[in-house]
Every structure is written in C-alpha cells, then in structure tokens.
Chain A
Amino acid sequence: MSLRPDLAVIAQHVAPGSRVLDVGCGDGELMSVLRDDRQVDARGLEIDPAKVERGVSRGLSVVQGDADRDLANYPDDAFDYAILSQTLQTAERPDRMLDELLRIGRRAFVSFPNFAHWRVRLALLWRGRMPVTSRLPVTWYETENIHHLTVADFHELLASKGVKVERSWFFAGERESGSAGANWRAEHAVYLLRR
C-alpha cells in the first residue's frame, strides 16, 4: 500500500476488527486499507460529493456531510476510533471538533501540519511571508487551513481538556522525525488520543 505516512501510521495502529469513523475520508483510501487488511468496520464522512461517489463505488459506507455540523448526529461511543487526518486546522472550531471526536469514538487519531516547523518559522522571520511548503502548499488567501496550530498549541489544548495522549508520531517529509524538538523539527504530527 502507498498510503500517506500519517495514514499509514494510523492504519498500522487501528486494532483489527474495530469500528472506525474516518472524518474527512476523501475517496476512502484509508478506509479501504482498514477494511481489506484489518477487517475494520469503517464508516466515512466527506464533504465533496465526487469523493463520496468514488468511496461508495468502492463499496464503502460514506456519508456526504460537513464535519463542522454533522458529527453531532452520531451517538456517543458509536466507534472505537474516530479519525481526523489533516483536517483539524480547517475546522470552524477545532476545540469543539476534538470534543466531538472523543464523544463519538472511545479513541481518536488526529493528524495536522505543524505551523512551528523551522521552515515555516524561517519564512515568517526572514521573508516576512506566510509560508508555502510541501505540507502547506496553498497561498494564504486560497488555503482551507483557517486555524493553523503548532505541536505546542495542540499539547496545551489537550491539557486544558484533560485528553490523554496514548501515542504520538512526528514526520519530516516522508520520514519519522522523533519527538525530541518536535515543535521545531516536525512538519506534521499524528496523535492517538483517549478521553
């Protein structure tokens, strides 16, 4: 499989046979892997109808909807895991979305691009420009990322909510970069959280 590194980490750490909601599932790439390789009962939520259509034609259960609004319709504890990959920074209220993920799922995988990576800091410090990098490839006026955050910001949010980190993974490019100095060195981060 050729999953994006954050998705590959998630796929490896979802318990086989569990129930999963993939929020912002795209055309169902991760869901297919979970279903086929780990016998997971995977459900998806996706806002783009063309992607929903592709997911459904893969035989997946995908609901077209808006994560900012439609998570409210899922009952408590409906899933073993709720997955939110590279989407937290696009939420209207990332803090409330985190609450919803951990209400619906007993655990949550959350991944996001780290806005404190050194390249981002340099772009601001030296060039005085909003960064455009491989992880943040879109200009400030076109980007869907309306709530940029850093690894340190995320830790503070988790602490304020009393959310526990079971595991975390950090990546620079395609490679894991380790947790030491992650707020400088990680381009993106993946967390496995529980209430």
Chain B
Amino acid sequence: MATLLAPPSTSLTLPAPLALDSGQRLENVTIAYETYGDLHADKSNAILVCHALTGDQHLASPHPITGKPGWWNRMVGPGKPIDTSRYHVICANVIGSCMGSTGPASPASDGEPYGMRFPVITIRDMVRALIGLLDTLGIERLHAVVGGSMGGMQTLSLAANFPDRAARVLAIATTARHSAQNIAFHEVGRQAIMADPNWQGGSYYGTGSIPDKGLAVARMAAHITYLSEAGLTEKFGRRLQDRPDGTRGAKSFGFDADFQVESYLRYQGLSFSDRFDANSYLYITRAMDYFDLAEEHGGRLADAFAGSSARFCVISFDTDWLYPTADSRAVVHALNAAALPVSFVELSAPFGHDSFLLDVPALDRVVGGFLG
C-alpha cells in the first residue's frame, strides 16, 4: 500500500442499506468526503460537486497518494468561480470507487473484500448514496449540484430523480446517454484488465499482485479519448524520445517508446495503477455504460425533468469528441421541452474532453456567473 502524502478524508456510514437498481441491497455503505468553506446555520449555501470516472473527493486539497493538488483546484477555492468563501462545497467519493467509499475492495459481510461479488451499480445508485450523505448531513436543498463528465451524469440524474434537492444544476462536458462509441471504448478497457492474468477473476486483493498492466492499458486507451487530435499533435507531434543511452531523438527500430506520445501514455497508464483499483474501474465504467436517463423515464428525456424546478446550465467544448456538443444539445432540448430555465454554451478550447479540468477562462466566467 502506498504511503499517504496527505490526510485521508472524513467518512460516514449511511444509517440504512442502499436499495440498488439491480434489485440488490448494499449494506453498511461508507461515504468518504471532503468539504470546503463554511456551511450557513440554515444550511442553504451547500454546493455538491460530483467527480468523474477516476476522480475522487479531493477536489481542492492534495491527493493523499499522489500528493498532487486537488483535481479542480483552479475552479474551487476562496474567490474562485466556485467560491468557498461564500459556499460550503462538498465532494464525495462515489460508491464503487476506491478512495474510501464502499467499493469492490471494501470488506463484504464475511470480512473478505467484495471483489466481483460487489453488486453492479448505476449512476442513479451513486446519486442515491450522495443523497444519503446529504440526508445524514441535514442538507435538504443544495444551492447547486455541479459536475463534469461522469460528474455531469450524476448532476442530471440527481435533477431527474431527486428534483427538490438542488436549486441549480450545472452539467459540463457530459451526456444523458452513453453512446455505442463510449461503451466500445470502455469495453476495451475492461477486457484489458480482465485479460491480465494478475486480475484472477477479480480476487487479487492480498495476493501480492494486481492487474496493473491491464489497468494501465485501459487507462492509456481511455486517456486518448480525453484529448483532442489537435491537442495531441501540438503537445507531441511525431517527436521522438531521447534514448536511454543518451542518443537524442532516434528511432530504436524496436518496440520501445520511441515517440514522445508513447512514453507519455505509458507513464499515464503506470501512474494510474498506483492510485486506482482495477475492479473499481470495471464497476464504474459499467455504471456509465448503463446510463440512459431517457430510458429510465419512459424513453422521453423531457419527461425525466418533468418534476424539476431547478435552473440548469449545460456546457460543452468544441473539441470534445467523447461527449460532443450534440449530446449536450439533446439535454438542452429536453429541458426546453420541459419549459425549464436553461443556459447552454459550447465553449472553444483545444484540450478535448479534458477541457473542463484545464485552463479555460470562459468556463470560469460561465460557472461563476451561473452559480451567482
């Protein structure tokens, strides 16, 4: 186990078992979370931020394993667009993950890790757990729920299934439905993990070997989908790595990481397996693939939002081909059809899907403006 470079999160156990979409029940659900900024006495100033697939609750404070700054440090803090001097910002690790909330690495009732005995969960199940957290914290109505990518799916699911719980819904670089292409990329990742002999049917905990190679390949494939072609070209082009023997930028006529982009992806893959659990990756990608908000509500997306009275803001990026603008527009059209107040903007940024995490000043202005 890696040494912790920062303190672990606060956590609590939900008082009741969680009824899941699969029909199963999850007992003793632990939720690990971080908060930033003071909560008013009337609990009216809470903002829930939902994290993405491989994200976690370390929104604006250092990650305990990598020591890196919080993943949305540039967005969340005093005087920042999500202003912690005005709002009480909550970010919780989703169930199924591996940063302190109940997931496949957590002990089941027999004391052994769940492994593949962990029930398959959905985005709505993640949201149910977040609502359980809010209930326990006594927060009835959020000032806003905010999220990008899978976090955005949770914001939409929360708006649809718990319409009274948030006054504002901010969904960034996301979709109301995972496409065939999205599912296909996830399946590549899952198959890479399950093809790693160290995966051992998911029961690798305590065996001294983890499916780090498979997980690294999964991360490499996924990482490509988070970037734009123009971004990759600008960052790496066809530039070659310096060889280990000091030769500058030469082809090896072998299969080492000749190109800088190969070296970059290998590093991304390897460092990912230091901080993320392979089974969590299987479960969370599955939850995303199952996500189809219209299907949950009789096939018509507008009906999903029929009970809502929230204000919505939807943001897409012109270089995001993972969740393209058309996906956001489908959400906006449904909200229009449900006569709900909605803002939408497609922002121009070179970073592909990852734009929501990176330096896009227009994003800061829209987020700050919408949250008020």
Using a CB–CB cutoff of 8 Å, the interface residues on chain A facing chain B are 41, 43, 49-50, 52-53, 55-65, 73-75, 78
Contact = CB atoms under 8 A, between A and B. Distances in A.
B346 A64 contact: yes
Given A56-B313, A74-B336, A65 B344 contact: yes
Contacts of B343: 52, 55-56, 60-63
Contact of A78 (B332, B339, B346, B365): B339
A56 B336 contact: no
Interface in B334-370: 336-337, 339, 341-348, 362, 365-366, 368-370
A43 B341 contact: yes
Contacts of B346: 49, 64
Given A49-B345, A49-B348, A52-B344, 7 more contacts: A53-B347, A56-B313, A56-B369, A59-B370, A61-B341, A75-B336, A75-B337
Contact of B345 (A43, A64, A75): A64
B254 interface: no
A60 to B, nearest CB: 7
B243 interface: no
B298 interface: no
Contacts of A74: 336-337
A52 B344 CA distance: 8
Q: How large is the interface on B (under 10, 10 to 19, 20 to 34, 35 or more residues)?
A: 20 to 34
B333 interface: yes
Interface string B277-321: 000000000000000000000000000000000010100000000
A60 B370 CA distance: 8
B368 A57 contact: yes
B369 A57 contact: yes
The list of the 4 closest CB pairs from A to B, nearest first, reads A57-B369, A61-B341, A73-B333, A63-B344
B332 A63 contact: yes
A161 to B, nearest CB: 24
Given A61-B342, A63-B332, A65-B344, A73 B366 contact: no
B372 interface: yes
A56 B366 contact: yes
A57 B366 contact: yes
Contacts of A75: 336-337, 339
B348 A63 contact: no
Contacts, number: 64
A54 to B, nearest CB: 8
A43 B277 CA distance: 45
B337 A53 contact: no
Contacts of A43: 341-342
A180 to B, nearest CB: 41
Nearest to A63: B344
A52 B337 contact: no
Contacts of A52: 343-345
Contacts of B345: 49, 52-53, 56, 62, 64
Contacts of B342: 43, 61, 63
Contacts of A41: 341
B251 to A, nearest CB: 43
Given A73-B336, A75-B337, A75-B339, A53 B365 contact: yes
Contact of A59 (B339, B348, B369): B369
A61 B313 CA distance: 8
Contacts of B347: 49, 53
A41 B341 CA distance: 9
A64 B346 CA distance: 7
Nearest to A57: B369
A47 B270 CA distance: 43
A21 B368 CA distance: 24
Interface in B79-101: none
Nearest to B333: A73
Interface in B27-78: none
A162 B355 CA distance: 49
A181 B332 CA distance: 44
Given A56-B369, A57-B365, A57-B368, A64 B344 contact: yes
29 contacts: A41-B341, A43-B342, A49-B345, A49-B348, A52-B344, A52-B345, A53-B345, A53-B362, A53-B366, A56-B366, A56-B369, A56-B370, A57-B365, A57-B370, A59-B369, A59-B370, A61-B311, A61-B341, A61-B343, A62-B343, A62-B344, A63-B336, A63-B342, A63-B344, A64-B346, A73-B336, A73-B337, A75-B339, A78-B336
Nearest to B348: A49
Nearest to B344: A63
Nearest to A50: B362
- Count chain A CB atoms within 10 A of each CB in B345, B346, B366, B369 and give the residue with the most: B345
